A and B are shown apart, each in its own frame.
Chain A
Amino acid sequence: MSNALGETEIEVPIETFPIHKEKDSSSQASKLPPHRIVLILIGLALVASAALFMRWDWLPQYGGLILQGLWRTIWILVVTVFLGFLLAVPLGLAQASGPAILAIPARAFCTVIRGTPLLVQLWLLYYGLGSLFPQYPWIRGSELWPYLRQAWPYAVLALTLSYAGYEGEVMRGAFAGVPKGQLESARAFGMPRFTIFRRIWLPQAIHRALPTLAGEAVLQLKSTPLVATITVVDLYSVASRVRQDTFLTYEPLLLLAAGYLVITGIIVMLFRRVERLIPSKLG
């Protein structure tokens, strides 16, 4: 091939971070040794017997409600993880390098959130604040009233604060773990502080925290069922309704557990994809 000047361009394949693909066929066989095949077959048999022998006739009737509950669960999870992370970044930053006047309240916030059960926090926000409404009648006329009336804002608030409390701790470690030399040399180059934060500190901190964040997102998913106790109709709430209407014990709960397993699997896969996007050197 020649470019505009008539010189021949040599294609130099750039491969700085080789990703080793599994090409050895014998290792494929070793992934499915006989005992694993037997276990998989037993698993499939259990699932099949559950599908055949248990009562599933309630599924069509509640199908729409189940999908609604599933959507609510996923929506609450995504919103609270996003907002919680946004809140966690300043919390972590304040603790890692802020002045005492910011670091101490941030630390206190994280300690309180991590020291009390989420259920108590949830009920405190919903019923505790709710008990104050009759005493201040002007609240009902205010702009916020339509939101204060419903249950989901409290659920989102409580879950966001909870996630921020735990993530603040993780981000603190992540910010503190970025090699100080990079920040110092950026400063020596005269980079403005916010640019240093934007270009060097924050991306590296997020990269350090990414494996933990995946686990934390799964933990947040496991906290979402609690919102059913404050009348938010999520997946768990729908399963409870099925349990109460049909008096079945096993079937709705097994389906519920399976649903959460599937969502967990999707979350783990998504985070792995994101991790792969960022090239990293594995020693």
Chain B
Amino acid sequence: MKSFLKTTVAAVVLVVAGLGAANAEQVKVGIAAEPYPPFTSPDASGKWQGWEIDITMAMCEAAKLDCVITPVSWDGIIPALTTKKIDIIASSMSITAEREKTIDFSDKYYNTPTMILGSKEEKMDATPEGLKGKILGVQVSTVHQAYAKKHFADTAAEIKEYQTQDEANQDLAAGRIDATQADGLALETFAATPEGKACCEIKGKVADDLEILGPGVGVGIRKGDTEMKDKFNAAIKEIRASGKYDEISKKYFTFDVYGG
């Protein structure tokens, strides 16, 4: 009976290992499994496309890595990185001191202002007084959630937390919330869609808070994985210098998203 048990356990471990053995050379790029145009969004054939996907693949090419896009749930993306389910995070994750306690970041690869998108029918602006009595929606686990908690919690009527930004956008269009705070480009993309045009308009940029909003978006890397960090830093420099960065950005934007 004992040897039967041992062989069963050994067999199970082997089967699990065999099923899960992936190509050791592949670098799994974690992205949030939600539509986040213009950065990442799924198309009807199941492929992920968007500015961030293109830039990430360009960086991987420059670093000579075989990258594979691996969608993960946004609120579990950092645990996924630390438990080695994915190898890097390239999902518009801002570099903040809080996150740097757990993971490392590469240099930034873009920086866009944070804005508030609000209902056309409500008067408001992107300040704590301007949001008095309003219901604000943010995505969980983002710098926007932290910013809203710090600056708007006292004046806003309620801060609702959504699993994905597009659900927050949807509730804004439905009128359940009065405003949402997120990355300016993502909000502008939504505001340009038919639903966005009908319901909402950009109310302005929020006051800067470097500690919470961070200097920009970087590639998330496991603590101690200095090899990967150096590879990506070099890759970012290379695609900036070679013009590939601008070539890709021109397809999506008319201005420079790298930021100051």
Binding site for B on A (CB under 8 A): 127, 130-131, 133-134, 140, 148-151, 229, 231, 237, 240-241, 243-244, 247, 249
Contact = CB atoms under 8 A, between A and B. Distances in A.
B198 A240 contact: no
A249 B167 CA distance: 25
6 contacts: A127-B170, A131-B173, A134-B175, A140-B175, A148-B176, A240-B140
Given A149-B176, A150-B176, A151-B160, 7 more contacts: A130-B171, A130-B174, A131-B170, A134-B195, A140-B175, A149-B175, A240-B140
B150 interface: no
B170 A130 contact: yes
A229 B163 contact: yes
B206 interface: no
Interface of A is mostly: helix
- Chain B interface category by residue count: 20 to 34
B101 interface: yes
Contacts of B79: 247, 249
Interface of B: 75, 78-79, 101-102, 140-141, 160-163, 167, 170-171, 173-176, 195, 198-199
A230 B71 CA distance: 21
B75 A244 contact: yes
B76 to A, nearest CB: 9
B102 A247 contact: yes
Contacts of A151: 160, 176
Across the A-B interface, give the 9 residue pairs with the lowest CB-CB distance, nearest first: A130-B174, A133-B174, A244-B141, A247-B102, A231-B160, A149-B176, A134-B173, A249-B79, A133-B175
B101 A130 contact: no
Contacts of B141: 244
A247 B78 contact: yes
Nearest to B102: A247
A185 B78 CA distance: 68
A237 to B, nearest CB: 8
B195 A130 contact: no
